[in-house]
Amino acid sequence: MPFGTKPDGFGGTINFEAVYTQLIVPAIEAVGFEPLRAGEEQVGVSHKSLFEPLTLCEYVVADLTTSDAQVFYGLGIRHALRSPNTVLLVAEETRLPFNLAPVEPVFYRVSPRGEPANVEMIRAVLQQRLEHTQDTVPGRPIYKVVDDFSGIKRLKTDVFRDRVKYSVVIKARLTEARRQGSEAVRAVEETLDPLNEQEAGVVVDLLLSYRATKAWKDMIALVAKMPPALIGTIMVQEQLAFALNRMGLRDQAEKVLLGLLEKRGSSSETYGLLGRVYKDRWQDALKRGEPSVAQDFLKKAIVAYRTGFETDWRDAYPGVNAVTLMEISDPPDPYRKELVPVISYAVKRRIEAGQPDYWDHATRLELAVLAKDRHVAFDALAKARAIIRESWEPETTVRNLRLIREARAERSEEVPWALEIEEALLAHA
């Protein structure tokens, strides 16, 4: 929308700051979102402060009253990406181009002082439009990956660098920095100042590079520096929760994930991350000597992982975590026997499709350990070790394998080769 006070084309003026603060902001806040004015940082159609909010924000309200060229340019971008959740606002008597007539804009009256006159009524209409609009149009690659990924949800971070186009030079520098460690990644970030002028793809790659080097604190700090539109995306919120949990800030991680589930709906990845939070809280309680509290968190972890798997049967990762925790429960949960064949089939299909990742082979390894199948376990171990990407991945698998081994030892069910598997994986961490 325009800034400041502009002629209305009929001899008067319109105060667009009043339109924004009295109509648009209250309606957006009423539906639980944070208002962000595109182009507010710098004016110019080529600037990222216009492009990225139009791509990433869940809702857009566009005031077309003055037929401002930049507003129409931004509207064209938005309609090409996520048209159905774009609401048009326009002052009465404004003549819109004929091809926008079917869009049914929200009309508001303007007082002689140039401010919106029927504020309460229009605010209610605008709020209703925002509540009922739905996003059904695919967006450009950055949106499709960070906020609308249609594949197995945990894979969106893996495919990000391949699918999203951004600075080739910075991508190459971050690739090398990942090999060198977190200090090298920090050095790259220092060259990207001011961060809010960088492409969204660069910022997300930086976030994932900190994750690759286990720089959890840097991940949390980076999210706080991101533009609001990027902070609100599913990928960034999930990675924030991941880092918060790794820092031991479990309450905050849980709050982020539960908020994401409430706002965006069920996701195998979000539930998988929530299951990890509860699993860590279970172990925290055991270390504090609180067995009853620990038992409650163990049950919550199982439910979260199981719900994640049932949300998307293709995603074996939350499924194998569910059955592992069912196995180590006292007594073991009998439902695990029904889940294991389904999880085994899911991971088998992934591997046979020809593009398995570390987690596919790690899941097969974990299932083999659960089944006490030494031959399959060592075969899966070899394949998993060959495609480890980040050091925290085998550490996560070993943690589960250790839980299985220790629970079985307490039940006098020793598996002599189990420790050998763990040591071989840790050697590659």
Number of domains in the chain: 2
The most confident of the ranges 65-69, 80-84, 206-210 is 206-210
Residue 300 located in a structural domain: no
Do 53 and 37 fall within a single domain? yes
The verdict on 41 and 120 lying in the same domain is yes
Average pLDDT of the residues in 412-416: 89
Task: Please check the confidence at residue 137 and state whether its pLDDT lies above 60.
Answer: no
pLDDT at res. 138:
38
Does the residue 164 lie in any domain?
yes
Mean pLDDT along residues 167-184: 93
Is the pLDDT confidence value at 45 over 60? no
Q: Is the model more confident about 106 or about 256?
A: 256
Q: Are residues 175 and 240 in the same domain?
A: yes
Q: Are 205 and 160 in contact (CB under 8 A)?
A: yes
Residues 6 or more apart whose Cβ sits within 8 Å of residue 118: 108, 109
Residue 38 sits in a domain of what CATH number? 3.40.50
User: pTM above 0.85?
Assistant: no
Confidence (pLDDT) at 64: 81
- Same domain for 211 and 233? yes
Mean pLDDT for the chain overall:
86
Looking at the structure, do residues 10 and 115 belong to the same domain, yes or no?
yes
Mind listing the pLDDT tens digit for each residue in 328-362?
998 899 999 999 999 999 999 999 988 899 999 99
Residue-wise burial string across 279-294, b where 16 or more C-beta atoms lie within 10 A, e elsewhere:
bbbbeebeeeeeeeeb
Residues 116 and 167 in one domain: no
- Three-state SS for 186-210 is HHHHHCCCCHHHCCHHHHHHHHHHH
Distance of CA 11 to the CA centre of its chain: 48
94 with 213, same domain?
no
Domain membership of residue 149 (yes or no) is yes
Q: Which of 244, 266, 296 is the last residue of a domain?
A: 244
Residue 150, domain extent:
140-244
Write down the pLDDT at residue 55. Answer: 66
Q: How far apart are CA 121 and CA 184, in angstroms?
A: 55
**Over residues 130-147, mean pLDDT:** 56
* Separation of alpha carbons 399 and 127, rounded Å: 48
401 pLDDT band, cuts 50/70/90, is very high
Q: Encode pLDDT of 295-325 as tens digits.
A: 999 999 999 999 999 999 999 999 999 999 9
Identify the domain boundary among 192, 222, 244: 244
Q: Is residue 200 part of a domain?
A: yes
Do residues 29 and 86 both lie within one domain? Answer: yes
Bridging pattern class, strands 86-91 and 60-63? parallel
Task: Report yes or no on 60 lying in a domain.
Answer: yes
One domain, residues 95 and 157: no
Q: In this structure, are 110 and 199 located in the same domain? A: no
When pLDDT is cut at 50, 70 and 90, the band that residue 240 belongs to is very high
Asked whether residue 298 is domain-assigned, the answer is no
Contact between 361 and 384 (Cβ < 8 Å): yes
109 DSSP assignment:
-
- Residues 73, 128, single domain; the answer is yes
pLDDT (0 to 100) of residue 145: 66
Give domain status of residue 53, yes or no. Answer: yes
252-256 mean pLDDT: 98
Structure confidence at residue 43 (pLDDT): 44
Tell me: the pLDDT tens digits for 176-204?
999 999 999 999 999 998 887 788 889 99
Evaluate if residue 49 carries a pLDDT over 60.
no
200 and 106 both lie in a single domain:
no
Note whether residue 391 is domain-resident. Answer: no
Instruction: Answer with the one of 244, 278, 296 that is the final residue of a domain.
Output: 244
Q: What is the pLDDT of residue 58?
A: 67
Q: Is residue 136 over pLDDT 60? A: no
Q: What is the pLDDT of residue 206?
A: 96
